[in-house]
Structure 1
Amino acid sequence: MTLLEKLNQDMKQAMKNKDKDTLSVIRMVKASLQNEAIKLGKESLSEDEEITILSREVKQRKDSLQEFKSAEREDLVQKLENEINILQEYMPKQLTDEELEAVVQSTILEVNATSKKDMGKVMSAIMPKVKGKADGSQINKLVQKQLSNE
């Protein structure tokens, strides 16, 4: 089942359940997917492209969440946390800290990184491996930690 099919199915269920929040998030994601397909001039997107868009949607909400927390807007914080939870259901299973650390270590060995100067090389090699399965800032911290230990 493609992501679009799953979204359509869940959208129907949300309508039946009168779940306005879920319905709203699904409609936003579907619109983002369709806009991206139009922008790329494609009939449908690859799974990789879909994950990229979902990741972008989650990242935007997480960034906004930080802003709302610092502005002490609890009403908006709650709404965004709910949206993030809904979006997470469509994302690939997230890697555990141990799995992520193992990927970081193996990638550092692959590219022969020895210092923080090699940070960009490591990040560009690791991101395609963990696309949608881990947060970029978390990966960045792990890579910095690993490179500073060596």
Structure 2
Amino acid sequence: MEMRERLNTALKEAMKAKDAERLSTLRLINAAIKDREIASRIDGEEQTVGNEEILAILGKMVKQRQESARQYEEAGRLELAEKERSEIKVIEEFLPRQLDDDEVAAAIDAAVTEVGAESIRDMGKVMGALKAKYTGQMDFGAVGPKVKERLN
């Protein structure tokens, strides 16, 4: 099932169940996708956002909420931090399972072999291969240093 269809089905179910918190988060996801579509319009032509872009949007939303939750905790606003965490749980339902450390290391090794990377200059090729295959399954901010270490 397409990501968009899954989101719309979940939205309808949340409406029927009168789950206001879940409904609010799903509407935020839809708004973010719509914003991306509007931003990508070319000469008035509507551009639809594909599954890969939706996964990237969802990943970005999770990161934003993790940062917000951390800041709320530091400020002593635990109820707001908890709200951010509940939004993260809803968003993560639509993301693929995150790879563990061993799987990430294996994916890096496979990507290095696949692109024939030999030095740090090939880091962009390796990261491109990883992003093409594992969008939404790993945190590329954390993977970058691992790739760099592997290539040194």
TM-score interval w.r.t. the shorter chain? 0.7 to 0.9
Q: 1:62 aligns with which of 52, 55, 66?
A: 66
| SS at structure 1 position matched to 2:132 | coil
1:58-84 superposed Cα distances (whole Å, 9 cap, x missing partner): 121122222223223211111111111
Cα distance in 1 for partners of 2:47, 2:123 equals: 37
- Which position in structure 2 is the counterpart of 1:27? 27
CA contact (8 A) 1:65 1:77 kept: yes
What is the RMSD computed on CA atoms of the aligned residues? 2.2
User: Is residue 2:144 matched to residue 1:140?
Assistant: yes
Cα distance in 1 for partners of 2:86, 2:23 equals: 12
**Higher mean C-alpha deviation, range 91-100 or range 104-113:** 104-113
User: Is residue 2:130 matched to residue 1:126?
Assistant: yes
CA contact (8 A) 2:117 2:123 kept: no
Residues 127 and 2 of structure 1: is their aligned pair in 2 closer, same or farther, counting only changes over 3 Å? closer
1:11-57 superposed Cα distances (whole Å, 9 cap, x missing partner): 12112222111100000101111121122123521111211211121
- Which position in structure 1 is the counterpart of 2:7? 7
Residues 5 and 118 of structure 1: is their aligned pair in 2 closer, same or farther, counting only changes over 3 Å? closer
User: CA offset at residue 126 of structure 1?
Assistant: 2.7
User: Is residue 2:56 matched to residue 1:52?
Assistant: yes
CA contact (8 A) 1:22 1:86 kept: yes
In the superposition, the TM-score normalised over structure 2's length comes to 0.81
In the superposition, the TM-score normalised over structure 1's length comes to 0.82
Letter matched to residue 112 of structure 1: A
Cα distance in 2 for partners of 1:28, 1:105 equals: 37
User: CA offset at residue 118 of structure 1?
Assistant: 5.8
| SS at structure 1 position matched to 2:117 | coil
Q: Percent identity?
A: 33
Give the length in aligned residue pairs. Answer: 147
